[in-house]
Each structure stands twice: as C-alpha cells, then as structure tokens.
Amino acid sequence: MVRTPYGAVRGRREDGVAVFRGIPYAAPPFGPHRFRPPVPPDPWDGARDAGAFGPTAPQPPYSEAFAEYLADPVVPGDGCLNLNVWTPQPGPAARLPVLVWLHGGALTRGSSGVPVYDGRTFARDGVVLVSVNYRLGVEGYGLFPDAPANPGLRDQLAALRWVHESIGAFGGDPGRVTLAGQSAGAISVGALIAAPQAQGLFHRAVLQSGPPEAADRDKVRRMVRRMAARLKVPATAEAFAAVDREVLLRAQAEAGRLSSPILGGPAFGIVVDGDLVPRDPLQALVEGDAAVGAELLMGWTRDEYRLWLVPGGLLERVDRLGAVALAGAMARCRCGHEVPRGYRALHPEAGTAEIVGQLVTDHLLRIPLHRLAEARPGSSYVYEFAWPSLRPGLGACHALELGFVFDTGEVPESAKLSGWGAPRELAEEMHSAWVRFAVDGDPGWQAWDTSHPVRILGDGEPRTVHGPRDGEFDLWAADAAARASAPPVPVPEDGAAGRGAELRSVVRLLRRGAVRGH
C-alpha cells in the first residue's frame, strides 16, 4: 500500500515487482470537465484497489486491416485520466530513476494498457516505469472557439505533476525523470520539452519515431468542421459536449477515414496555443528554448512507412500508380523533382512504393529529428531500428521496436507485428540501452557530433555508422536552398489550372485507393 496526495492505493506483487494500475491523476474529463483542462481527482478514503488497468480514453476501433497488427484493449468507464506504476522497491528511501511512458496512436487511439508496454522489465532492472492514459481524438485535440486547445497535452502535463509530487512514495526519484514516447507519444514529448510549464518536471527525454511539431490549426479545424457537418451541430465545444459519446466517435472515424501519415489530410494534432505551446516546438528547440537541457535519445525504424502501406494492400497500389504516386508524395512533402530523382539514384533497386514511403518518412520524421540532433550536439543519441519483421511485407516498420524496448516480445500483442521468434539478444541490447539512458543519460554509444553517429540496431551486430542518411538529407537541404533563392511562381488567375490543382487531384486519387484498401 502506498499513499498518494489523494488517498492510499493498494497494488500487487507480480514476479518480484510491485504494480499499481489505474491510479487517477485527474478527475474524469466528462460532465462539467469535458473539453476543459484537467482538474485534480476527488480524494478518497481507505485504500483504493490498484490491481487492474483503469478506463481507456474514448476512441474508435482500428479497422480490420490494422487490427491484425496492432493491439488496442478497451476498458470502459469515465475515469480515463489514470496511470500505472511498476516499481521494484516502494518507499521513499529507494530514490530510483523514473521513466514516464506516453503511448502512440496518432492522438486518436492507444492506451497504457497495451500489453507490449508492460513495465515489469524496467522495474526488474531498477527503473520505476509510469505509463499514462490521456484524452484522444476530438476529446483531447479538437480545436474549438469556446474551449482551451490541447486538453490531451494538458492531461500529460498533469500526469507529470503527479509524478513530481507522488513518485517518491513509490520508490522513484522526482529529480531523475525521463519522459519517453513513440509516434504520437514522441510528438507529445517534443511539445513538452519545449513547454515552459513543464520545466523541472523531467530531466531527459526519448523520442521514438515522432518529432517535435505543431499541427496546422486549419487542418485540425477542418476535422472538427467535418464532424460538425455530419452531426448537424455547431463546431463548438458546447455543442459537441451534448452529443452522445459513441455517436461522436463514429463521426470522428468517418471524418478522418481519408487521412494518413502518407496521404495527409485533416487530422488531430498539437497546436500552438500561446500558453502551454507558445510556439512551434521544433523551432523552439532548434533555437535553444527548451524545458530540458539534458540528454535526448531519439530515432526511427528503417521502414516506418510499411505499417502505413502494407495493411489493406496500399503498398502494391502505390507501386502500380508509379509516377502518379511520386507526384502525390512531392505534393505531400512540398519538394521539387530533384529530391525523388536523388532518391532513385541513391536507391536504384527500390520500387515506387519504397521511394514514396522513404520520402514521406524523411519529411515527417527523420529530417526534424536530424535538425534537433544538430542543434544539441554532445547530448543527443540517435538510433535506427533495422530488424525486419517475420511477418510478410512489414520490414522494419513503424512501432516494431516497441516489443524490443520493453523486452516484451513473448506476449501475443508483440507478435502481431514481429511474428513469433523475434531475437532475444536484440531485445536485451535495446532494453538495456534504454535502461542505461534512464539511469545516467548515456545509452552506450557515441553522442551526436559533426560525424553524425547513428546506432544501427537489428541489422547484424549493433554498430555505430557515421552519416548513414546524409545523402538523403543533403537532397532536402539543396531543395530548400533552391526554393529559398527561386523567384515566386505566378499563380493562374482561374485558380483551377496549374500544378497545384493537378497535385491535389493526385492526392485525392491516392486517398480513394487507401479507402478501398481499408
């Protein structure tokens, strides 16, 4: 039993580790609290049972195509602002390092209850693991004229404050907190690194396959307006709060069905709000404005895009479209013809789908993380996960590294992506590196410098390679320089002709193909 600021919680002993699940860090975000910043939970008397995961945030289910690869357990209930703690030694005397985990899922899906995120291996190795649920989709990232922006990110900040106040009683040291996340969780980590209100709440960070970024406010508004049109209500928080939760989720799923990382489109995201997110997080970090001045561990998988294209058969469809798909990728990435030509020269054996996927991956993930490492030499550690899944077509896809980081490859939910028989030695290598980083800020390889060291994990023996993607990054730098020096391109008077309209039609064609595949 451990006492928190709001009451005592009673956990369980499992394989020598103390586990506390479903601890509320804020009040249920419904009723008067819906679409509002989180507020503290009501205190309770006696010992609250913490043996089971708490409610998950409302979210639509994955499509059948994606559910084949990704686990997404649902726990019903209103109290979705909860967290879990795995610790080897409860009590204030331990003062162990802490790792706080933010799950991915495009800010619309996911939870801390996914079995892949089981924290027992971190606790076994002397690190207190905290995993967090937070609001998702329109509940957490809808943009309304009558409510504050980014309530889901504010949930995460509230959870960090809970950790700062409470983790000592669970054996953790509030002065040694690492904030970590993957995909949308990593995007959240990037925003919190740059958030002035998060200063002092964590001391180093891990960004896996997600860069610091701010979404275009109009893109988020378009999602809300699409939902409002389907619901036949005004695009306000007051009107949305009056809609049944399940009806709201169906409208959200329908409004977002044409959007994806490859194809773009309206989506939910963290936006600049002048408060918690005062400016674009990547720009703030590159210019040295950050809450965390210590170490960063960040990286990507070699074939991120394959999780976005393989389910539903979109990979083959993109290959068949050929030049049309490349034109759509150029529109998505806002790059000139020389960039895909350069990729063809660097990878002459690659098909169209691979070129398109790597273009978009570099644009969305690798280039922003590369910029961040360049801005923080000596304290940034970069990796590339390169082990190909045993499941056909996935390669080293997005999210595949998670079972290795948590060393949970034996659970069925990990095997959904990896297949059975993933290499134990790779899990031991990666998990140990993340533990070392949480303990002392050094995962065990060379920090970023002018030689651009990248740790390659899963392609033979772990090794450090210098500048493995510099050729691609140089293409983007040259393209940016050419665009900066080029004279403005005149826009046709009718507004319908020209390359812009043509590329928009290409992207629409690709999206229709994605819908048929899903």
List the chain domain ranges.
2-517
- pLDDT at res. 517: 35
Q: Is the pLDDT of residue 235 over 50?
A: yes
DSSP states of 160-188: HHHHHHHGGGGTEEEEEEEEEEETHHHHH
Confirm if 448 and 373 have CB atoms less than 8 A apart: yes
CA torsion, points 406, 411, 416, 417, in degrees to nearest 10? 20
CA distance 90 to 18: 7
Amino acid letter, residue 345: A
| Residue the block writes with tokens 């190795």 | 125
Q: What is the 3-state secondary structure (H, E, C) of 359-418?
A: HHHHHHHHHHHHHHHHHCCCCEEEEEECCCCCCCCCCCCCCCCHHHHCCCCCCHHHHHHH
The pLDDT, as a whole number, for residue 264 is: 82
Amino acid letter at 50?
Answer: A
Looking at per-residue pLDDT, the higher value among 162 and 499 belongs to 162
Torsion sign across C-alpha atoms 165, 108, 247, 68: negative
Q: What is the mean predicted confidence (pLDDT) over 230-255?
A: 96
pLDDT the model gives residue 206: 98
- Which pTM was predicted? 0.94
Nearest alpha-carbon partner for 178 in 207, 208, 210, 203: 203
Select the more confidently predicted residue: 482 or 497.
Answer: 482
Residue among 478, 456, 454 nearest 466 (CA): 454
| Closest listed residue to residue 333, CA positions, set 303, 309, 365 | 365
Percent of the chain topping pLDDT 90 = 86
CA 309 to CA 317: how far, in whole Å?
Answer: 9
SS3 call for 436: helix
Contact 194, 368 (CB under 8 A): no
Those residues whose C-beta lies under 8 Å from the C-beta of residue 418, and which sit 6 or more positions away, are 389, 390, 391, 400, 403, 409
Residues marked active site are found at: 183, 304, 398
User: Which residue in 190, 162, 188, 164 sits closest to 176, CA to CA?
Assistant: 164
**Rounded (to 5) percent helix, strand, coil in the chain:** 40, 15, 45
Q: Is the dihedral of CA 45, 23, 10, 177 positive or negative?
A: negative
pLDDT tens digits, one per residue of 431-476: 999 999 999 999 999 999 999 999 999 999 999 999 999 999 999 9
Number of neighbours of residue 510 by Cβ within 10 angstroms: 27
Structure tokens at 293: 């001045």
The region, left, alpha or beta by phi > 0 then psi within -120 to 50, assigned to residue 357 is alpha
Band of the pLDDT at 513, cuts 50, 70, 90? very low
Give the amino acid at 456. I
**First and final C-alpha spacing in the chain:** 47
Q: Which pLDDT band holds residue 122 (cuts at 50, 70, 90)? A: very high
Read off the tokens for 138: 């329109």
Q: What is the per-residue pLDDT across 268-283, written as a single tens digit (0 to 9) for each?
A: 999 999 999 999 999 9
Amino acid type, 384:
E
pLDDT score of 516:
36
pLDDT at 5 over 80: yes
* 8 A C-beta contact, residue 220 and residue 142: yes
> Model confidence at 262, in pLDDT bands (50, 70, 90)?
confident
- pLDDT band of residue 491 (cuts 50, 70, 90) is very low
Evaluate if residue 505 carries a pLDDT over 70.
no
pLDDT surpassing 50 at residue 157: yes
Kindly tell me if the per-residue pLDDT of 195 is higher than 80: yes
Take residue 337 and report the two structure tokens written for it: 């013809």
pLDDT computed for residue 444 by the predictor? 98
Is 90 exceeded by the pLDDT of residue 44? yes
| 3-class state of residue 443 by DSSP | coil
CB 147 within 8 A of CB 35: yes
pLDDT band, residue 502 (cuts 50/70/90): very low
Helix, strand or coil, per DSSP, at residue 338: helix
Q: What is the DSSP string of 481-508?
A: HHHHHSPPPPPPTTSSSSHHHHHHHHHH
Q: Output the average pLDDT for the chain.
A: 93
More confident residue, 290 or 122: 122
129-151 per-position pLDDT tens digit: 999 999 999 999 999 999 999 99
**Paired residues of 8 in beta bridges:** 3, 47
Q: What are phi and psi of 21, to 5 degrees?
A: -115, 150
Q: What is the pLDDT of residue 503?
A: 44
pLDDT tier for residue 291 given thresholds of 50, 70 and 90? low
pLDDT score for 76:
97
Cα angle, residue 398 at apex, residues 397 and 399 outer, rounded to 5°: 115
Distance CA 208, CA 186 (A): 6
Domain 2-517 has CATH 3.40.50.1820: yes
Counted residue by residue, the chain has a size of: 518
pLDDT, tens digit (0-9, with 9 covering 90-100), for 322-352: 888 889 899 999 999 999 999 999 999 999 9
Q: Is 301 helix (H, G, I), strand (E, B) or coil?
A: strand
Q: Are 483 and 335 in contact (CB under 8 A)?
A: no
Comparing 255 with 492, the larger pLDDT belongs to 255
**pLDDT score of 7:** 98
For residue 136, the model assigns a pLDDT of 98
Cα 361 from chain centroid (whole Å): 14
Is the pLDDT confidence value at 499 over 50? no
Q: pLDDT tens for residues 47-59?
A: 999 999 999 999 9
Provide mean pLDDT across the span 304-317: 92
- Report the pLDDT averaged over residues 85-97: 95
